[in-house]
């Protein structure tokens, strides 16, 4: 059993297709949707956690690639610009997974990519545009 | 016990004992007030937070032929030109005419007056546009040119209200949607609580009765030097105080001024507050001379002894209703959670404690190295005493 968190970017023509249904039904994968939305450019953007056997996962990924769905690893998706962060902590109460962490002694903010689920709640909370979503 | 001149003589000789507002707490605890007041000469404070009542006067080199600027823009952001021909004022919260504001709610306010000031201080080139009606002595009716910090005659940071002595904790108690305020994003059902003060490091909380901070006090401002030029707008020393003399809600403020040409973009940051507007985050540090035991005692104030009020920003604040939903101290606020009406609520800050600490440390080093002397105020702020 392998677990993988990825960002799936759907091109305009695929947005209307039941892709997740096929991943479950045809490839026997477990899908946990962390976030889904259609961007202003009419692209679909789905953040998912996919689990299944190595073989099934690879087959599922091939299916997605054939549909021209761009598969990105989640960690690359949200960028924390350390040089722009002033450690004000305005983002702290909004992060649901503690990916943005505050050391209460040094009062310094840090970012753990592994814990980030790209929910984007921190982005409007930051007054310094220090957190960026890379599409 | 000590005078400004005695302390300055020590500073000149490199012999002054200078500690931060955090360090004095331990010193007083270990040695007692009496000994601490004798040994320590200066306590440095610091704060780094959005301060909307900020801006800069700019005098640009006039064109040939000359123009009497009537309306002006810097990088598209409106500047006030109702002054002499080539004087303009760029306010921190000012925006461009093209800004979408809150038309697509919540607006992002990516570039405003605060960002212009940051870019100017960073040495970047800024587009200046000005229009006028033309006069005999100032015939030109429009200019479009590029300025930078070096090419302008003066750039004077002039902030009518900074460094609030204490501030509210903001919650969203009544709205069923997330609200976007100058105190940040507040989720419904008291989903979070935001505060904005450096607490035990904050300048005016270390001098609660303004015994040393007054008109003429030299300060660390935006990385350079500045002065307190008046009490700030809304300065209100009459608010309720705890038994330690510390105010328990927003009270005193200061108006500050300084040469923008000596400042740094690290300590003057353009700020975008979602759904609210643009602002400028300002770094301020004020040295407090330990003239006597009373002053030493005030500087030893701790986060757990500084209280403030929990205020609702969904219904009460917008409607001018002055109601507190509880009193909390800064130790609780900085721990990450406070209790509001029996429920544990996560906290977020707008004032950077980490940067406040850095300001206090930089100011400490400047004084220790003899590069920063203290000034005695020429007039006190009204103290309510």
Based on the fold, state whether residues A31 and A90 are members of the same structural domain. Answer: no
Q: What is the residue range of A111's domain? A: 78-133
Co-location of A51 and A93 in the same domain: no
Q: A102 vs chain B: nearest CA distance in angstroms?
A: 9
Can you name the residues that pair with B170 across neighbouring β-strands? B194, B311
pLDDT in tens, A57-71: 999 999 999 999 999
B200-227 per-position pLDDT tens digit? 999 999 999 999 999 999 999 999 999 9
Catalytic residue among B104, B137, B146, B343: B137
A128 touches chain B (CB under 8 A): yes
**Per-residue tokens: A127:** 């007054």
* CATH code of A35's domain: 3.30.70.260
Is any Cβ of chain B less than 8 angstroms from the Cβ of A96? no
Please check whether residues A57 and A86 belong to one and the same domain: no
* pLDDT range class, residue A43, cuts 50, 70, 90: confident
pLDDT, position A2: 86
Same domain for A39 and A88? no
Residues A16 and A46 in one domain: yes
> Does B207 lie in the same domain as B72?
no
Write out pLDDT tens, residues B260-276: 999 999 999 999 999 99
Q: Is residue B385 part of a domain?
A: no
Nearest CA of chain A to the CA of B61: how many Å?
Answer: 32
Query: pLDDT tier at A16 (50, 70, 90 boundaries)?
Result: confident
B137 lies in the same domain as B284:
no
Into how many domains does chain B fold?
2
Tally C-beta pairs within 8 A across A and B. 83
One domain for residues B248 and B259: yes
Q: Quote the percentage of chain B above a pLDDT of 90.
A: 99
Q: Do residues A63 and A87 both lie within one domain?
A: no
* pLDDT(A80) > 70: yes
Annotated active-site residue B137? The verdict is: yes
Q: Which residues of A touch B167 (CB under 8 A)?
A: none
Q: Are residues A128 and A104 in the same domain?
A: yes
Q: Do A90 and B351 touch (CB under 8 A)?
A: no
Under 8 Å between Cβ of B245 and B251: no
Per the domain annotation, does B317 fall within a domain? yes
Last residue of a domain, one of B111, B131, B157: B157
Mean pLDDT for chain B?
Answer: 98
For B196, the closest chain A residue by CA position comes to A88
- B18-32 tens-digit pLDDT: 999 999 999 999 999
* Residue bearing the bigger pLDDT, B353 or A118: B353
Looking at chain A, which residue has its C-alpha nearest residue B351? A88
- The ipTM (two decimal places) reads 0.95
**DSSP 8-state symbol, B63:** P
CB contacts of B357 in chain A (<8 Å) are 107
Give dist(CA B148, CA B125) in Å, integer: 5
d(CA A101, CA A6): 22
In a domain, B362, yes or no: yes
Q: Are residues A41 and A7 in the same domain?
A: yes
Q: What is the mean pLDDT of each run of 10 residues along chain B (385 residues)?
A: 97 98 98 98 98 98 97 98 98 97 96 98 98 98 98 98 98 98 98 98 98 98 98 97 97 98 98 98 98 98 98 98 98 98 97 98 98 98 84
Q: Give B102→chain A minimum CA distance, Å.
A: 14
- State the SS3 of chain A: CEEEEEEEEECHHHCCCCHHHHHHHCCCCEEEEEEEEECCCCCEEEEEEEEECHHHHHHHHHHHHHCCCEEEEHHHCEEECCCCCCCCCCCHHHCCCCCEEEECCCCEEEECHHHCCCCCCHHHHCCCCCEEECC
Q: Which among A88, A104, A107 is the nearest to B350, CB-wise?
A: A88
Question: What residues does B131 pair with on adjacent strands?
Answer: B71, B142
The reply to whether B168 and B189 lie within a common domain is yes
Q: Do A128 and A63 fall within a single domain?
A: no
- Domain span holding position B120: 55-157
pLDDT at position B100 is 96
pLDDT band at residue A75 under the 50/70/90 scheme: low
Q: Please indicate if any CB of chain B lies within 8 Å of the CB of A91.
A: yes
Q: CA of A113 to nearest chain B CA: how many angstroms apart?
A: 21
Residues A102 and A72 in one domain: no
CATH number at residue A104: 3.30.70.20
């Amino acid at each position: 059993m392998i677990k993988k968190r990825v960002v799936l970017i759907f091109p305009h023509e695929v947005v209307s297709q039941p892709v997740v249904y096929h991943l479950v039904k045809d490839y026997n994968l477990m899908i946990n949707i962390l976030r889904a939305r259609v961007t202003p450019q009419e692209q679909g953007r789905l953040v998912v956690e996919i689990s299944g056997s190595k073989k099934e996962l690879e087959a599922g990924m091939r299916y997605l690639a054939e549909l021209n769905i761009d598969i990105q690893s989640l960690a690359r998706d949200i960028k924390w610009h350390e040089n722009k962060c002033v450690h004000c902590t305005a983002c702290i109460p909004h992060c649901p997974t503690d990916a943005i962490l505050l050391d209460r002694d040094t009062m310094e903010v840090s970012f753990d990519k592994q814990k980030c689920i790209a929910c984007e709640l921190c982005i409007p909370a930051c007054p310094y545009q220090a957190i960026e979503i890379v599409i | 016990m000590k005078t400004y001149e005695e302390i300055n003589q020590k500073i000149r000789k490199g012999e002054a004992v200078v500690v931060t507002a955090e360090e004095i707490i331990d010193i007083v605890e270990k040695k007692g007030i009496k000994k601490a007041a004798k040994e320590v000469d200066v306590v440095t404070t610091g704060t780094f937070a959005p301060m909307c009542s900020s801006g800069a006067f700019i005098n640009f080199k006039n064109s040939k032929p000359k123009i009497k600027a009537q309306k002006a823009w810097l990088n598209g952001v409106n500047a006030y030109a109702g002054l002499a021909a080539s004087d303009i004022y760029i306010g921190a919260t000012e925006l461009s005419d093209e800004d979408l504001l809150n038309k697509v709610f919540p607006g992002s306010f990516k570039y405003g007056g605060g960002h212009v000031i940051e870019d100017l201080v960073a040495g970047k080139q800024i587009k200046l546009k000005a229009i006028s009606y033309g006069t005999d002595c100032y015939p030109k009716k429009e200019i479009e040119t590029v300025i930078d910090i070096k090419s302008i005659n003066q750039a004077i940071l002039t902030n009518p209200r900074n460094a609030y002595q204490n501030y509210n904790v903001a919650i969203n108690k009544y709205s069923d949607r997330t609200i976007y305020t100058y105190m940040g994003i507040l989720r419904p059902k008291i989903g979070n609580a935001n505060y904005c003060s450096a607490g035990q490091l904050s300048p005016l909380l270390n001098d609660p009765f303004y015994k040393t901070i007054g008109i003429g006090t030299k300060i660390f401002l935006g990385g350079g030097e500045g002065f307190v030029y008046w009490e700030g707008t809304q300065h209100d020393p009459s608010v309720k105080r705890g038994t330690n003399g510390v105010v328990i809600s927003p009270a005193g403020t200061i108006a500050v001024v300084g040469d923008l040409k000596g400042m740094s973009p690290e300590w003057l940051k353009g700020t975008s507050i979602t759904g609210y507007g643009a602002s400028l985050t300002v770094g301020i540090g004020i040295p407090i001379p330990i003239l006597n035991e009373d002053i030493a005692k005030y500087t030893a104030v701790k986060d757990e002894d500084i209280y403030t009020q929990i205020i609702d920003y969904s219904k009460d604040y917008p409607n001018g209703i002055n109601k507190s939903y509880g009193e909390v101290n800064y130790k609780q606020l900085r721990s990450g959670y406070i209790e509001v009406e029996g429920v544990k609520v996560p906290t977020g800050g707008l004032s950077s404690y980490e940067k406040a600490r850095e300001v206090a440390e930089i100011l400490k080093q400047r004084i220790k190295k003899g590069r920063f002397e203290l000034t005695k105020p020429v007039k006190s702020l009204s103290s309510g005493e």
